Structures are given as C-alpha cells and as structure tokens.
Structure 1
C-alpha cells in the first residue's frame, strides 16, 4: 500500500441471490482529500460504504484501511475510521455535550480537551449544551461529524451527508469538511447523487453506475492544464478569423458561435499564437474564455446519459 493512500478497495463485490449490488469495485482513496462516491440512487454507494465499515459482509474482495485489512484486523482497522451511515443517530433527550461525553466513553484516550476541540471545529460551541431535540438537521449533522472524529480517525466516511440540508447548511458542511482535511489531516469519503454539491465539495470523485466503477475524475486541479481544451474567441469577423487560421488549424475543428466568434480545441501554449494571428490579420478580439466541461457534462458523457439529480 502506498504511503499516500488511506483506503484501498480490491475487487469488492456484493451479491444477494442472483443480484449483484456491487461488482468487483477496485479503487484507491488518496490521503488528505475529500473523495466522492458519485452515482444515481441504487448505484451501490451505500452498500459499498456498509462493507467498508463492516455493517455488511463482502461476497468477495478486500478492503484495506491505512494498511490494515478489515478481514484480518477488523477491530484495529475500525479505530482508523469515523463514519455516519445514512443519518446521524443521537439521544435527543440529552444535550449535544452529553451525547459527545457518552460516545467518548466508548473510545480510550478521548479527553475533555478533545471534546472541546471538536465542538469548536464544527462550530457548535454556542448550542452544545442544548438538548438535541431542539437542533436543526444541519446542527445534528455537525454533531454527528463531531462524534465521528472524537477518536482522531484517519478516515471519515459520510453517506449522503447533504440530504435534507438547506443551502446554508450544505455550504457549512462543505467548509467543515475542508477544515478537517487541512487542520486535522483527516481523509474524507462522501457519497452523493447530487452532482453540483460533489463538484464543489470533492477533490476527486469515483463515478459508480449499477455497482461498477465507471471512472475516477480529479476536480479543482491543474492536472489538465497542458491538455487540449475548447477555447472561445469573441471576434468581430469570424469568417476572416477562420481564413487567417487556415494552415495552422484544421478547419473542421473550428465552430462558429452565433456570428460573434469561433470556438476551437487548443493546447494552452497554442493560444498566444492564435491571438497573434488574429492581430496580424487586423481582426478585433473582444475576449477569450476556456469552455471547460462541468462534472454534469462529464458524468452524462461517460455514463451514456443516465440521469442524476
């Protein structure tokens, strides 16, 4: 196992009768990232998470957490994990603080100072002594995260954490997860069917469809900075621009956009040369922009159009 990998899935499979819920899933989750399991409802995300944390047995395969196999060293491996599967369950008649004290007693070495630390980290210091029954869903979600990281796990797993949250609550959760990776050094695995939220929340996503891994995509990185991208040029004379580019660019790759400009695939270092060609030809340039594909575009492209929310 690489020192840069926190979680490994190797041919993880779950069958119930003739149905295959998860089909030979193999992937690596890097340390220090927010990693997403993305797929439509019923894709196998929750089943995969249940197998990772030992709530459901595997039909085949291996899960390795921070170098520890869950089949060979289950208890030791689970000390590396904090998780909320589906919904955070709390004692509603107790205060938030009393809930954390109760959970702290289940783990060795969790001090009062650590409890106070996680309360500050998730931003509940002003409401922590109120009973949980008075908490909003977003506050309960934050309390659940606090409980899950009390024992300083290396890996935090959250199953559909944004379900039921309003936009402000979703943004707060997103900020807390980013703080966890930066301040606590925790790696986070998040599952969701919400494309827009995963795009904002995650560093990398694994796209799962019908129990199979379709692809793993990096988000918010410069890994593709040198690769070809679609570039839009806003010009006063698109026809003259195409004529000026003949000999440099294959004309079949150039698209005229509403007579206001042209779009064509270029590598980053080609863009200045194209701009210089337009200037030499006396063509006015009003703007340029890269037309990057959204996560939604990428998802629909590689899954053949299966829809998610």
Structure 2
C-alpha cells in the first residue's frame, strides 16, 4: 500500500532563495502527522507543492502513490485543505457555503445534502446552518471551514495552523472533532502548527529549519534522543559561560535568551561539576525531563526571537 505522502529529495527555490533543501519524509495512511518550524522554515512551500499549486524545483512528492506533478487532478480529488485564512464566503450561510463547495467537486442532490447534514452534526453547527458566516464566532467559523475541507471525503487533509486565533475551549473542540474523524473515516492529517501541545498529540512530528528536515519521529522518541534530563542555566553572560562549558566539559550548550540549555544523561551530576567550576557565573539552574520545545531548540537551533510567539517557554 502506498504511503499517504511520500516525499523524496524535495527542493524548491525562489530565485536564489532555497525554501526547501533535499527534504525526504513518509507519512503513513491514517496518521496524524505534525509539522513544526519557525517562519521561513519551508512549511508553506511544502504545503503548496503537496496541494499541486506549484511543482518542486527538484525531487518528487506523491499522495497515495500519485505524483503531484504528473497527476495533479487525481491528487486534488484525494486532498482537502484548511489553512489559516478561512475559505468561506462571509455573505453566504453555512449551508450555502457547503453546497457551493460540494458543487466544485461535482456533488449534488441527496448525497450532497446527507453529507452536509452529517458534517454539521459532527461539528455541532447544525443549529447555525442557516446563519451567515460573518455572524459566527471564530471557533464556529473554523469548524465550518473544517467541514468544507472534508466535504468530498478526502483521504488526506492538510491543516496549516488551523487553530490560530482560537481560545482554549474552541481549540479543544476542534481537536476532538479531528479525533472523531480519524476514528470514523480514517482520514490522514498533516498539521503545521507552532503549538507544542498540538504537536504532542501527533503520531509523528517533523521539524523544518531553514528548509531542511532536522528531525522526524514520534514525540516520545525525539525527546528520548536528547537524553533523560535537560539542564537549564540562567547566567548573566550566557555566551561566555557556554564557551567555558563546551571547552572544559566537552558538552554542547544552546543559548536560549539569557539561559543555557544542555541535554545530558546525568544532568544533576553535571550541574554539580558546573557549580564547582563556574559557580560565580551561574545565577540559577533547573533540571527536568526533555520536552518537545527542547527538541525544537536543539534541532532547529533557533533563538526565541527567531521563533513565532508561543513556541518556546516564556
């Protein structure tokens, strides 16, 4: 059985700028797959290629064995998309929006009415089906947009920052709907997000940085690869302390704001040694288990100013 998404050696350039650099990854049928990366990492370019909106400069991408370049119509028939900006006409009612979307895919008659009714019930918006979209809250609009993306029963749904602007309750409702769709319809999801709590829900997570794939695996596996513990050190001169630690102890330290982050299998023992050697430079220190945010910092190598708000701890 072909993978839901199979990407091999994918690169794309905009003039002299290389947005994607030799990216290869595989997404299994039925998976919930997360895509993390700061602005400019290549997420949008990857989504545009998978959506058949443009061909890659090099490499290939396929959706259920269908080339995005050679068989774009067949790919679109099996693909749905929900992006940050709603693809809804605010002047039409909820039901009118869905009927229009269905017509684009050649759906009509009783089959279309039944599908619309099913999705309205699934996302708990049936009582608002006659209301204009511009009268709905952001959370309700997001649910309607998800229904739009699923109307033609796509095998793969691309979600680009789908919960941007939603409050915690609306975000929880959205993800509960995703869980039901995976269970009841077997839909495969590729979700670009900057929220660690959402990435933790995924079966696997890929991290893009400067167009390169720098990590790919389950959240637990990626965290385990950093070691059993993380050491965070607050310092007045983190650059100087990092250089001293790496020179004297041979361990890698990442600067995050005014802090140093060190992945180590025996962080408490290392911390004792660091206090003995550089106690006058250390303001405070914390030892804890690795998080997905730690994975992002280590693998992507980004400072807080380079990362969208919300991806790193405050």
Q: Which has the larger radius of gyration?
A: 1
| Aligned with residue 57 of structure 2, among 59, 71, 79 | 59
CA distance in 2, matches of 1:301, 1:177: 30
Say if 1:34 and 1:178, in contact at 8 Å, map to a contact too.
no
Say if 2:11 and 2:19, in contact at 8 Å, map to a contact too.
yes
CA distance in 2, matches of 1:4, 1:118: 28
Change (3 A) 1:96 1:21: same
CA distance in 2, matches of 1:170, 1:25: 30
C-alpha displacement of 1:217:
2.3
| Aligned with residue 40 of structure 1, among 16, 38, 41 | 38
Equivalence map 1:274-285=2 (5 Å): none
Equivalence map 1:80-119=2 (5 Å): 80-109=78-107, 110-119=111-120
More helix by share: 2
Which residue does 1:161 correspond to in 2? 162
| Aligned with residue 255 of structure 1, among 257, 265, 268 | 268
CA distance in 1, matches of 2:91, 2:44: 29
Q: What is the DSSP-based 3-state SS (H/G/I as helix, E as strand, rest coil) of the residue aligned with 1:126?
A: helix
Equivalence map 1:1-309=2 (5 Å): 3=1, 5-109=3-107, 110-199=111-200, 201-219=201-219, 229=228, 253=266, 255=268, 292-307=289-304, 308=307, 309=311
CA distance in 2, matches of 1:37, 1:306: 19
CA distance in 2, matches of 1:187, 1:104: 20
Change (3 A) 1:256 1:10: closer
Say if 1:119 and 1:125, in contact at 8 Å, map to a contact too.
yes
C-alpha displacement of 1:65:
0.4
Say if 2:32 and 2:204, in contact at 8 Å, map to a contact too.
yes
CA distance in 2, matches of 1:16, 1:106: 31
Change (3 A) 1:22 1:217: same
C-alpha displacement of 1:194:
2.3
Say if 1:7 and 1:66, in contact at 8 Å, map to a contact too.
yes
TM-score (norm 2): 0.74
Which residue does 1:288 correspond to in 2? none
TM-score (norm 1): 0.75
Which residue does 1:236 correspond to in 2? none
Counting matched residue pairs gives 255
Which residue does 1:241 correspond to in 2? none
Q: What is the DSSP-based 3-state SS (H/G/I as helix, E as strand, rest coil) of the residue aligned with 1:41?
A: coil
Change (3 A) 1:213 1:113: same
Which residue does 2:259 correspond to in 1? none
Mind listing any 5+ residue stretches in structure 2 that lack a counterpart? 230-264, 273-287
Change (3 A) 1:4 1:17: closer
Change (3 A) 1:150 1:253: closer
Q: RMSD over aligned Cα, in angstroms? A: 2.9
